[in-house]
Amino acid sequence: MTDIPVGLVESAFFKLLGCRLHSLETGVAQVALALEPQLRNRGGKLHGGALFSLVDIAMGLACSSAHGFDQQSATIECKINYIRAVSDGEVLCTARVIHPGRRTLVVEADVMQGDKLVAKAQGTFAVL
């Protein structure tokens, strides 16, 4: 993609979580997240809320890259259909727009740790 101002890609929450943009193409975003101590649950695993936030961030970036960063979108629904515990390392979320409608977009995401599937998710976003 063309150069997009960092402020449109890296929100304050993106930075707070410690996300890292891996790649961004039209309708596809890859965002990485390292398992840092503040992202662990009481069992020492990656907190489900951090994983959900990673998915929502990657999906939002995929939507923005599909309809343009000059428009905003809002999450209507985001659900994780599969989840596996992560104890260490880094995960990579790949979100793809599978239905780029004018008013709504449907997005799928896979979160991987190496070659292992950590989570699968689907979301619907409204173009504002």
Round to whole Å and give the CA distance between 76 and 82: 19
How large is the average pLDDT for residues 40-69? 96
- Average pLDDT value over all residues in the chain: 95
Predicted confidence (pLDDT) at residue 15 exceeds the cutoff of 80: yes
Give the model confidence (pLDDT) of 69-117 as tens digits. 999 899 999 999 999 999 999 999 999 999 999 999 999 999 999 999 9
Pairing of strands 28-34, 116-127: unpaired
Round to whole Å and give the CA distance between 7 and 109: 23
Predicted confidence (pLDDT) at residue 32 exceeds the cutoff of 70: yes
Check if the beta carbon of residue 107 is closer than 8 Å to that of residue 81: no
Per-residue pLDDT band at 3 (split at 50, 70, 90): confident
Round to whole Å and give the CA distance between 105 and 109: 13
N residues, the chain = 128
Check if the beta carbon of residue 46 is closer than 8 Å to that of residue 85: yes
Give the alpha-carbon dihedral of 56, 62, 64, 67, to 10 degrees.
Answer: -130
pLDDT at 1: 52
Tally Cβ neighbours within 10 Å of residue 17. 20
pLDDT at 2: 54
Q: How many CA atoms lie within 13 A of 8 on its CB side?
A: 15
Tally Cβ neighbours within 10 Å of residue 117. 12
- Mapped onto helix, strand or coil, the DSSP state of residue 3 is coil
